[in-house]
Structure 1
Amino acid sequence: MLIGLLGAGWLWFVMSQHGIGLSPDSAGYLAVAGNLLEGKGFICYSGEPFVAQPPLYPLAVATLSFLLGLDLKTSALFLNLLIIVFATFISGNLTFLITNSFPISLFVCFSIIFGIPTFQTFVYAWSEPTFILFLSVAFFICSSLLTMKTKNTY
């Protein structure tokens, strides 16, 4: 968990100057989150239903914005900070569960934090960090179940 907090600190440092990265997808997600807060539902900035992209990210951004009273860009930043902590933690635990090697587990954690392709996804208001987290959790659960089944077999 400590390495995940280090990742969140690094992400905060990188984004402290200019805020969270925005792209056309980011604008769409934040527009949907804004429409959710206004009670309009999952509606894009064009007025059409939001059906072509994953709906969980705008819902999470809107929820954080509502609960914490933050603007949408700050909520997206805060969400990515939380996600990098948990994604790093789960990935490190998954690696240790599979390899039983603490150095390899540390390598994976630092690769998430300092690896350019992975870290870049956390800089933007995209749904990819959420996907990375849920995929890591799914692999961890599957690996845990296989480990338990193997231990119970013998």
Structure 2
Amino acid sequence: MLIRDFVDRDWSQVWPIIEEVIRAQETFPYDPALTAEQSYGMWVEAAPARTVVAVDGERVLGTAKMGANRPGPGARVSTASFMVAADARGRGVGTALCRDVPGRAQRRQAEHRADGALGAAEVVCDVVDQHVDEAVGEEDEGRQQDGQRQG
């Protein structure tokens, strides 16, 4: 698996991941009626924000976006969001994306330190990793043999 910067040709594989996640209405508070065009503008933000994809060959397995949490004084704090294709979950894609973010945030911090666009990056991937691992473990334990969730 390789994590690299998003390029426009990736959108045809990133949009179905985003569409599935927002339509499920379980993790992101985005309007489930968002179109591909609206979602593109929301997920692929202008620099210095950054969008990446996790790929296996030519296949996009997941995506992450990162940037300043808020404009102005909030720009010193980084934020990131992650989405993984349903059939790629539980294979470490989200964890790999999460572990990639701190290095990118630190590089962005160094690139923009001169103009004050970003100060100390704050990343919470270790906490996210723990909760993702726990959630996946709980979900797996809560499924019956036929794939149906138990009460």
TM-score of the two chains, using structure 1 as the length reference? 0.28
Higher RCO, 1 or 2 (CA under 8 Å, sep at least 6)? 1
Q: Which has the higher strand share?
A: 2
Name which one, 1 or 2, has greater alpha-carbon Rg.
1
TM-score of the two chains, using structure 2 as the length reference? 0.28
